[in-house]
Structure 1
């Protein structure tokens, strides 16, 4: 784990402390990352899951809501950060071997953090879910990081992403699912329980339960962050890396240099193209977040590009944060974006701790309720629970999560997990 401060970078390991100059931060990426992580916490933590606005919940299967765009946007930004970080370190003279070791270490730390959060606070290891958001981030960061370490040519990254998307489509469309048959022939395409990804997840889960006695699935019969669907998720990350290469061209030497207006317009054009491509592919390979389908990757990446174009124009061109009103509009997102994984992990710790704490309650058969439910019922839903009270609780929880990140941000401390 690294802690970056305004004065330098401290590496917390068993070896002596090393310091170096902090990398330049791209404000548009920090802001978009901050909006993304705040929205991720918002949709993960409503006061009452029985009362949630439709756009603040995932699609049941095919289709896409606003919530379905959150995680792919974060992975897209992970890809962008990979390019910016690698180039910063290469300019400082770090070897590719050292960078490869850094990528592996960081991926392992993210995965270890996921395992700790899954076990906390009871540490019943037989109930661990190996898959999950942080696991997918770790794998995508690891694979995309090595690809970007090997090549940073946009055409190569796009070719690899295209191969992953087409290959995943071919697997899901043509490979027979053992015990069920061929998709579109014996079984419907993307059947919730009888698709290739779900079958593979059940097999892997059975193996881990038998050998290491842990590894349950989120949906019991399949997992939204499963093994096979990580293939197109890596493509999402690579598309973010390509976007960062485009951003870097504003500082490239002639004749590769582009103006900031051209950069914005290019992001917007690519975003519209991605959205259109996803919608065109949708009838033959439906947009589906649970399976992270190829059409979903293109559609979500298009939305990410449009969002990045808007943030780039407001932050890096118009310098909105330097105006009096803009400072107050943007600082929460800069705060969230500066330590995104840290605040996400803290949010999970807060939730699990509040669920673990028991408070006496005459309304429950057991005589106790969780601190989470008690706060919601007594402060937000005193008369009855509605979508509005559930959202109000989620907004309050996001504000609570902002506080520790704000304290770090004030001191210019950036924890690189």
Structure 2
């Protein structure tokens, strides 16, 4: 088996994902989002809906790379698992901190969240990777996706009856979220959460599909990797699309078809990045931007989230700093949607200035 050190394409892929995540989360106005940066209203998948599953997929690839050799020593596995649990717990803690910041009102704290899901998925995906070979991992992916489909479509909902996937409040995941965490859910709904508990199952499958990709890259020759990643990506896209006819592709409840379909795009994107940056070793100067983000993804995301809250909460003459800045941009004469995009790009540029300094000083902040 051929093993590899850190691959540049993974850093670039991760960085591009973080950049898009910051752009999506920070429009100038939520009333005038630049169209390509909008999520699907319910069923469906826009480019924006690829961001989170891409990140979880990359988490899976990274698990394979960081632990590939160490897992062969069975005596090291318990220690690696403890480290994974500790790291995942820290991610969950940081996610809860962001939710509470800056008022720390536990009565309205949102329990689920992006980092909370990443933390949980990291723990479970690492556990499975450490104690399973690639065939078992593929089997577990299959079980998770089929089981979630059966749970969401076949189990009746207490007080409601048959599940209705077209109604956000008539699915089992929403019922469980509200029963277990009512009052601590996403403020956009207050009755269900896009990062809820039950939908974490297929999210784990998303990361495990990344684990499989990482294993293939670690064990296959360069002349086969790109073709293999592209072939698998196309196959997953086709499977996700046609399965989606009966089990709609939906990010908010992370349907099995959504996990498969987005993983297809992730395989294709990783394959293209691998061909450009690792096979052809083409590294234009502009690549420094995603690489700087890719080397410090968590600190970039956390700083972006906390600063965004402060811009909204700090007010001047009763108007938030964010609104003042947005109006300055709008005074140039942009359309509402374009002005919203310019604000997002400007904000992302500020975060880049921060991670660029870290990059130049060779500082990598690890959780």
Q: CA RMSD in A?
A: 1.7
Question: Please, which of 229, 233, 236 is the counterpart of residue 271 of structure 1?
Answer: 233
The equivalent residue for 1:143 is: 124
Say whether residues 1:203 and 2:192 are aligned partners: no
**Is the aligned partner of 1:216 residue 2:196?**
no
Alignment partner, residue 268 of structure 2: 306
* Contact in 1 for aligned 2:185/2:191 (Cα 8 Å): no
Deviations 1:166-212, CA, capped at 9 Å, x for gaps: 000000110001111123xxxx3342111111111110113xx5xxx
Unaligned runs of at least 5 residues, structure 1: 1-22, 210-214, 251-258, 361-367
- Tell me, in whole angstroms, the C-alpha distance in 1 between the residues paired with 2:312 and 2:103: 11
Runs of 4+ in 1 over 4 A off after TM superposition: 88-94, 381-385
Q: Distance in 1 between matches of 2:324 and 2:265?
A: 38
Mapped partners of 1:391, 1:45: distance in 2: 9
Deviation digits for residues 284-329 of structure 1 (CA, Å, limit 9, x no counterpart): 00000001001111100000000000000011111112xxxx1x12
SS at match of 1:95: helix
Q: Is the 8 A contact 1:177 1:196 kept in 2?
A: yes
Q: Which residue of 2 aligns with 1:365?
A: none
User: Which residue does the alignment assign to 1:404?
Assistant: 354
Is the CA contact (8 Å cut-off) linking 2:185 and 2:192 kept in structure 1?
no
Q: Would you say 1:333 and 2:302 are equivalent positions?
A: no
- Partner SS, residue 415 of structure 1: coil
Contact map agreement 2:329 2:342 (CA 8 A) in 1: no
Displacement after TM superposition at 1:217 (Å): 3.3
Describe the superposition over 1:247-300 as per-residue Cα deviations: whole angstroms up to 9, x where unpaired: 0113xxxxxxxx312110000000000000000101100000001001111100
1:364-383 alignment runs, 5 A limit: 368-381=318-331, 383=333
Please give the alpha-carbon distance, in whole angstroms, between the structure 2 residues aligned to 1:381 and 1:142. Answer: 48
User: Aligned-pair distance for 1:88?
Assistant: 5.2
Within 5 Å, which residues of 2 pair with 1:84-163? Answer: 84-87=65-68, 89-90=70-71, 95-151=76-132, 153-163=133-143
Q: 1:50 aligns with which of 31, 43, 48?
A: 31
Are the structure 2 counterparts of residues 356 and 81 from structure 1 closer, same or farther at C-alpha, using a change threshold of 3 Å?
same
2:34, 2:340 within 8 Å by CA — same for their partners in 1? no
3-state secondary structure, aligned to 2:68: helix
Shift of 1:94: 7.9
Once the 2 structures are TM-superposed, how far is the Cα of residue 246 of structure 1 from its aligned partner?
0.6
Change (3 A) 1:87 1:216: same
1:192 maps to 2:176: no
Aligned to 1:27: 8
Residue 128 of structure 1: how far off its partner (Å): 0.8
Q: 1:192 to 1:249 in 2, by over 3 A?
A: same
Equivalent positions of 1:233-252 (< 5 A) are 233-250=203-220
Shift of 1:53: 2.7
Using structure 2 for the length normalisation, give the TM-score.
0.95
Report how far residue 90 of structure 1 moved.
4.9
Cα gap change, 1:93/1:31 in structure 2, threshold over 3 Å: closer, same or farther?
Answer: farther
2:303 maps to 346
Query: Offset of 1:100 from its aligned partner?
Result: 1.2
Of structures 1 and 2, the larger Rg is shown by 1
C-alpha deviation, 1:93, in angstroms? 10
The total of aligned residue pairs comes to 363
Once the two structures are TM-superposed, the CA of residue 147 in structure 1 deviates from its matched residue by 0.7
More helix per residue: 1 or 2? 2
Separation in 2 of the partners of 1:291 and 1:79? 20
